[in-house]
Structure 1
Amino acid sequence: MGRGNRTYRVVDGQRVEGTWRPIFIRNGGSYFLTDLKIYADGAIDCWGMIDLDGLRDKLASGWVATTIESGAQASAHDLAGWKFLEPQVWIDPEDFVVQVADAIDRLNGRPDSTGRCRQLIAGYVNSRDEAERRALAEAYLKIPRSDRRYALGDMDSKDWPLRVICTAVDEPMIGGGEFVTEQMRDDAFAYFIERTRSEDEWAQRRVTDEPEQGRSDAITLPQVVFPQGWPDEAGVLVLRNEFPAPVTYDDHRYRTVVHAYWALSTREPDIAEQIRQAERPYDARKIAMTGTRRPDWSVIRSAVMAALLRAKFTQHPELAERLVATGDSPIYYQELNSPYWGTGSEDGANWLGRLLELIRAESVCARIGLAELS
């Protein structure tokens, strides 16, 4: 199942992460290739929202197909149609449900069936306790058959060492195969001991620039309006572009970053001047809409915004202190009018949040003598 396939849906304004995999739907004797969408909250979009029990029902009815009849017609909707001659299917209904449940676990950061099995390996290798071997074997058998071969992530040995240590001496290897010998088990245990040693060695040598304790909690800069004017203590909202911190840029003085951004977006001098003199950021944007954007604006706007933010925080050191005080927290900038610059009720690129994090990093670099990085 394609683990890199990502999607999401929005529930009550909250983003619910998801993934998807291809499936065949059987309808009227024909098969249709479509996508099964799986979400972190356990919802499954299978031409209608269902849960794991609902998926089991659709598998039992044959509507979600895990068997395909030879000679049957198939369609990928507007893409193609074909007839099955010698169809081969790699999964049964029970394993299919486990794969979907595994996807839900991964979306929630929990170990899936493979992960739960691998968690038991070290304990058994160290103890050689018979009860732990049986528990490991049981966990191995709960992995979908099509996923077992690569449960160790080893393209060479596959799951052979795992199958061997799951099996007692003089018994047929779990999952089918030859009888396991003492030598086979010794070789398999040696494999896991060496694997652990190599992993520990790699972990010690691996260079990472991620924080040891993880990043601090995210900071959201909501899009707000103050009809009576900005309060004396606006907190982190001083980081927003609407905050009344005059900015001088290119020999012009602007009331806010918003005024400067929209004035620079047009090549019409009269419109630019009206924007510059507008009383409120809202008025500046409204006036900008009466003009036209520079033809290269979509290319240069990010660089312009970065320059304006540098000007703001350079010309107002007290605001730079506020920005630096956010530490390493991710910054989410709510901007309902632009999914490019901010986040809205659903999703957005959050480029303003990213640029604020960049300016913050530059400010810290300057303080510790790393201002000139070139």
Structure 2
Amino acid sequence: MTWRGAAYRVVDGERIDGAWCHVWRRHPFTGDYVFDDLLVYADGTVECAAEGEPGDLEGLRRMLESGRISVTGPREVTGPREVTEPKEVTGPGEAGDSGGGAVGGGARPSGWASRAPRPLTPEGFFAEAADKVEELSGRPTLRERCAEAVRRFGADPCARNRELLREAYLAVPPHLRVYALGDMDQQDRPLRILFTAVGEPVEGDGPVVTEEAHQRAVDYFRSAAEGFARAREQHSVRQADDPEGAGRPVLTSHETVYPQGWPERPGLFVLRNEYPVTLTCGDETFDSVLHGYWSLAAADPAERARIRHAATGREARELGTRTALRADWPALRLAVMTRLLRAKFTQHPELARVLLSTGDARISYTGFADSRFWLDDPAGKGRNWTGRLLELVRSELAGSGPAGSGPACS
């Protein structure tokens, strides 16, 4: 199945990520199958458009077992794939043996060389859906666990690690096992060879496995483990300055209207550009960041003065958006906003402490009236430059001592 996103639902103000795919749903009255959407979420909730209230994974299992949901269309063939006539194998490494470890004589079906996965079954789809929940919730998936078992076996190919690798491989839904190693050429053949006893045909009708075939499989995984180790080393070198851990959750700065005036303790609302605070930028003084931004943007000196003396930041923005802007404003606006934010937080240590209290959280700056250039838009169309510049100023404050008292470098 092909899972698509992004889907989500909101529960008690918290966003829960999900994914969806198409399934065939049996109509309760006609018995005909119709195309429908199935959604799963990180908390294990399962929804199907016409099934009423949200269910869970056990409910999905029952729907699959009863046939109310089918993973194949009404005209699709769900039985085993047709197998062409086998051909004789006279020795190791015969042409067409892309498994890289198959040796011995006897008949071999063409399916051994095929890249097609096993047929999708209700049981396999249920395992895939449950695994999708694990992925959405940030826990290791079955394929990731198999990859970890591969690395462990490659580093130490003992009997115990071989058995753990076998268990991890068999836990992967059958229709996804050909992708377990992430190898487009070998697919899962090294695994199947490794799990087959010497002298036995792979899966009963594949090539007969020898000691040499086993050794080649072991060498394959050892080489893979060495490749993983080199990749991890290269990643650690290239990403040496990456933060450790996940960091703080995203902090969303919402625009809020206070008809009776700002509260005595506005808290994180001091981050807003409309928050009233006197700041000096160059040889001019403004009553908020919005006063400064839109006053400096105006082309007409008279309009600049009018905006600078507006009663509130929101009024300054309203006036500024209705006046002609400087021709060079698109090239200057980021630099001007940066200077205004630096002035605001370096000239007011109490505000700097609030900004520093956000730690390393990403700041998502939202609002009603500003352009998407400055705002973080839920649809992903906003550039969030205000939030990004707040993070920049926060970093500068953190590097200059308490509330910006000194230089970042000494």
Which stretch has the larger CA shift, 16-25 or 328-337? 328-337
Distance 1:278 1:100, change over 3 A: same
Distance 1:123 1:32, change over 3 A: same
Q: Which residue of 2 aligns with 1:243?
A: 275
Distance 1:267 1:52, change over 3 A: farther
Unaligned 5+ runs, structure 2: 78-116, 401-405
What secondary structure sits across from 2:72 in the alignment? Answer: coil
Amino acid paired to 2:158 = R
Match status 1:56 vs 2:90: no
Distance 1:245 1:348, change over 3 A: farther
Unaligned 5+ runs, structure 1: 73-87, 370-374
Amino acid paired to 1:356 = L
> Residue deviations 1:270-313, cap 9 Å, x none?
8876654333335545x559x7587999xx78963662242231
Match status 1:129 vs 2:163: no
Offset at 1:42?
A: 1.3
Match status 1:330 vs 2:351: no
Distance 1:68 1:199, change over 3 A: same
Distance 1:112 1:303 in 2: 48
Distance 2:182 2:268 in 1: 45
What secondary structure sits across from 1:149 in the alignment? Answer: helix
Distance 1:344 1:205, change over 3 A: closer
Offset at 1:192?
A: 0.9
Q: Which residue of 2 aligns with 1:278?
A: 310
Identity of matched residues, %: 33
Amino acid paired to 1:355 = L
Q: Which residue of 2 aligns with 1:83?
A: none
Q: Which residue of 1 aligns with 2:124?
A: 95
Amino acid paired to 2:159 = D
Q: Which residue of 2 aligns with 1:355?
A: 389
Contact 1:342 1:348 in 2 (8 A): no
Contact 1:219 1:332 in 2 (8 A): yes
> Residue deviations 1:83-133, cap 9 Å, x none?
xxxxx9941111111111111111111112222233333444525225x54
Match status 1:193 vs 2:222: yes
Distance 1:348 1:13 in 2: 22
Distance 2:76 2:358 in 1: 64
Contact 1:8 1:16 in 2 (8 A): yes
Offset at 1:5?
A: 3.2
Distance 1:255 1:68 in 2: 66
Query: What TM-score, normalized by structure 2, do the two folds share?
Result: 0.68
Distance 1:267 1:174, change over 3 A: farther
Distance 2:308 2:9 in 1: 40
Distance 1:296 1:8 in 2: 42
Query: What TM-score, normalized by structure 1, do the two folds share?
Result: 0.73
Contact 1:215 1:328 in 2 (8 A): no
Q: Which residue of 2 aligns with 1:141?
A: 170
Offset at 1:333?
A: 3.1
Distance 1:305 1:319, change over 3 A: farther
Distance 1:165 1:296 in 2: 71
Contact 1:102 1:112 in 2 (8 A): yes
Q: How does 1:201-280 map to 2 (within 5 A)?
A: 201-206=230-235, 207-208=238-239, 211-214=242-245, 216-218=247-249, 220=251, 221=253, 223=255, 227=260, 229=262, 231=264, 237-247=269-279, 253-261=285-293, 275-280=307-312
What secondary structure sits across from 1:18 in the alignment? Answer: strand
> What RMSD over aligned residues (CA atoms) do the two structures have, in Å?
4.4
What secondary structure sits across from 1:180 in the alignment? Answer: coil
Match status 1:65 vs 2:70: yes
2:39 to 37, 40, 47: 37
Offset at 1:188?
A: 0.8
Distance 1:6 1:175, change over 3 A: farther
Distance 1:40 1:22, change over 3 A: same
Q: Which residue of 2 aligns with 1:10?
A: 10
Contact 1:216 1:328 in 2 (8 A): yes
Contact 1:247 1:256 in 2 (8 A): yes
Amino acid paired to 2:274 = E
> Residue deviations 1:114-154, cap 9 Å, x none?
22233333444525225x54443233222112211010111
Q: Point out the structure with max Rg over C-alpha.
A: 2
Offset at 1:339?
A: 9.4
Q: How does 1:271-350 map to 2 (within 5 A)?
A: 275-284=307-316, 287-288=318-319, 292=322, 304=333, 307-314=336-343, 317-319=346-348, 322=353, 323=355, 328-335=360-367, 340=372, 341-342=374-375, 349=382, 350=384
Contact 2:150 2:225 in 1 (8 A): no
Q: Which residue of 2 aligns with 1:75?
A: none
Amino acid paired to 1:354 = R
> Residue deviations 1:224-255, cap 9 Å, x none?
56756564x76654432133333567986431
Q: Which residue of 2 aligns with 1:159?
A: 188
Distance 1:315 1:138 in 2: 60
